[in-house]
Amino acid sequence: MLTFCLGLMAIHAQEVPGLEYYLPSGMEYNAEIPTPESVVGHQVGEWHITHDKLVQYMQTLAVVSDRIEIEDRGNTFEDRPLILLKITAPENHNRLEAIRRQHVALTEAGAESLDLDNMPVVVYQGFSVHGNEPSGSNASLAYAYYLAAAQGPEIEDMLRNTVILLDPSFNPDGLQRFAYWANTNRSMNLNPDENEREYHEVWPGGRTNHYWFDINRDWLPVQLPESRARIETFHDWKPNILTDHHEMGTNSTFFFQPGEPSRVHPLTPVRNQELTAEIGTYHIRALNRIGSLYYSEEDYDDYYYGKGSTFPDVNGSIGILFEQASSRGHVQESDNGLLTFPFTIRNQFTTALSTIEAARNMRTKLLDYQRDFYSGMREENNRGGYVFGDSKDGARARHLAEILRRHRIEVRPIRGQQTIGGKTYTEGHGYVVPLQQQNPQLIRAMFETRTAFRDSLFYDVSAWTFPLSFNLDYSQVNSLPESGEPITDLPPLGGGVDSRSEYAYLFEWHEYYTPKLLNTILNKGLRAKVAREPFTLDGRKYDYGTILVPARNQSMDPGAIYDLLRNAASGSGISVYAANTGHTVGIDLGSREFEALKPQKVAILVGDGIRSYDAGEIWHLFDTRYQMKLTKIDTDYLGRADLSSYTDIIIPSSWGSGAIGEGAAKALKEWVREGGTLIGYRNVANWFNSQEFMKLNFRKDSTLQAKNLRFDQRDEFFGAQVTGGAIFEARLDRSHPVSWGYKNNRLPLFRNTNIYLDPEKNSFDNPIRYTDNPLLSGYISEENAALISGSVPFKVNRMGQGRVILFTDNTNFRAFWYGTNKLLMNAIFFGHIM
């Protein structure tokens, strides 16, 4: 403890250590390699590095060092480069592509004949996936310098036997946002008081990317540009070790994996955890040398494969999570003494070095493990596979196929029309995934449902079954149906207009991109209507929610309308059909059962009190998927804003009841009474109830109590009641506007709350209702399972001329829950008729 305190206190608040503070002692450094200070203008840890300066330094190293190549892998949403440094011995650079191919061959048939004696180990080291956990990216400055400049037999041997893939910033947009905050609030006389503004970021903080996503949860869904870059790198190289450098609470110390032994995904091999623990011994020795406190095998788990530290575990690699106590600025008081920013950087730097030391010394073990992981799966009986699709919606099926292809999973298009397990799959809308391919474990991890668990505590979600998240029909099959050749490039979505009409056009609401098309039509000033009832025209059946666009009495002539629809529908997967008569089997096109639609002007509340993840998911959906304008109104000025022009206002999940003041609540009520649609999510239910926007009856378990449990088991007792993220089945009334566009009367819903609502007395007021035994995949306690049975996740209440709508569940979770995005769109476009 004394050594640790001395290590902390050695750097006083006003002192800035030199580069030697981080570097191992007793080494020579090449004087021709520029130090970070000589390029960025300050010592490592003196200021928070901005992303532009970080890139500048890495590019400089790549120019002057024959050990480093730099790759630009694309850009973030804010157009910051996603760079990667490839670091190895100069002689390896001359044959780097051959090394990569040979390394990847370890995962393929014939790997048994490969000579491992001369094969380098590959280590992928990534820093600061959360932008306001900056010690990692700042450590990458010193680390890159060390790898470029250190001299001597030891590092030269390491570089000959190792290829290091160095990602200095997993999250450039978040890092830049946090660096701006920390630097602009830095005093010349550093102040460690925890109440200092420097340590309290304004909303939404720097943790997330541009659209406020936690991109460390996107390794499996791969919906964001940062993720797509690193997943491509991962599959290009198949690294043996991947490290993920994070931060945690200021009063903590330092964590490294393994995590909780009882919280490892069952598909992860035991050998993986053994190697993780062996690598940990190198971190122990390194941290002991510098006197840092640490811990392992606690708190964090290895369950959800969508995290950077766990995704490698289902791919024959070793994922390592590092968590450093955060100074959240430049220096802060903590339970362990004065915590300085340089000290946090030093721990990250030290464990980056101990990682490559472990990789070099364990090289043949790691290469053997990777080869055995894949050869073992080839020896298994991996007959059959999975079929998925939706006969009414090609886009959702295609987007799942797109994710699979990003993971180098073989996907084949289904041929013709085939009925499998009572479900119909059609060509162009259905796909086949054989298990007999390189990594069937990854496929199982994405498709399986699991409801039994060794442990009841989860650091993240307990379920992520992809065909359920996309609301697709799917079947596991022992014998593969007829299919085409493996897809290399997914063809673009079709869509268009079958012919020109002088009368009207029709399109069903089933396809994923119908809201985008309808929004385009309405914002061009065209009239459109929606069908409340099904009908048949020219032998074609049209479902609830079919959109009608008359060709006459519009602001455009029929020819211009045809051109608009043809261009807008192209590439969307939507088929628009010409109607040459208004007479149908069922409701005629002039029926009162066609409801007029209007352009929607939508706002969303953001700012203090609002959960930024939920808000960002909605912003991303509108902006990148449907190209719909969404006005972000901050809670700070909501009470002063003129709301009269908005048709819809969305309140994402909030952190508490104080996000919206009494004056703003009153203004919202008046706006609803005048005809607005107010849409709330998750725990907004409590606010709606307390502010009398709607009357709700909450289900609670009043009998829950601990029996025969010790004091040190209390956290596990309460933790077992958390529904951290599981999938549940609801029954749909397809005639209700909230359900339009869904072809089945069952819908998988993602849930990570314990908000359970009683249904209304009239059955037609419960268009979405959980089934009696709704758990499809994931964990829920017995107590909560009883509460959710037969409850409702959706409510609508008429208030004056407007509507108040509530979803207890997140319909837009992490951008990959394509299957429930349309629930929100239905509330937007059809809320006034609910």
**Could you read off the pLDDT of 108-119 as tens digits, one per residue?**
999 999 999 999
Domains of the chain: 2-377 (3.40.630.10), 382-477 (no CATH), 496-597 (3.30.70), 602-833 (3.40.50.880)
pTM value is 0.96
Mean pLDDT of the 745-752 span: 97
Q: What single-letter DSSP state applies at residue 34? A: P
Per-residue pLDDT reduced to its tens digit, 420-447: 999 999 999 999 999 999 999 999 999 9
Q: What are the CA-CA distances from residue 512 to residues 153, 393, 549, 628 (Å)?
A: 59, 6, 19, 14
Q: At what angle do helices 135-149 and 341-361 cross, to 10 degrees?
A: 50
Mean pLDDT of the 302-331 span: 97
Could you tell me the two tokens for 427? 């060509």
Dihedral pair phi/psi, residue 755, rounded to 5°: -95, 110
List the beta strands (DSSP E) in 508-564.
Answer: 528-531, 535-537, 540-542, 547-550
Distance CA 568, CA 514 (A): 10
Closest CA to 664 of 608, 720, 589: 608
Mean pLDDT of the 317-345 span: 97
pLDDT of residue 1: 34
Q: Give the chain's radius of gyration (CA, Å).
A: 28
Q: What are the CA-CA distances from residue 764 to residues 102, 587, 798, 825 (Å)?
A: 62, 21, 15, 21
Per-residue pLDDT reduced to its tens digit, 460-473: 999 999 999 999 99
Q: CB neighbours (10 Å) of residue 64?
A: 14
Mean pLDDT of the 796-818 span: 97
Per-residue pLDDT reduced to its tens digit, 17-39: 999 999 998 999 999 999 999 99
Per-residue pLDDT reduced to its tens digit, 667-684: 999 999 999 999 999 999
Distance CA 728, CA 748 (A): 6
Give SS3 for 93.
helix
* Helices within 631-755 (DSSP H only): 662-673, 684-690, 714-719
pLDDT of residue 454: 86
* Residue 141 clears pLDDT 90, i.e. is over it: yes
Mean pLDDT of the 728-752 span: 98
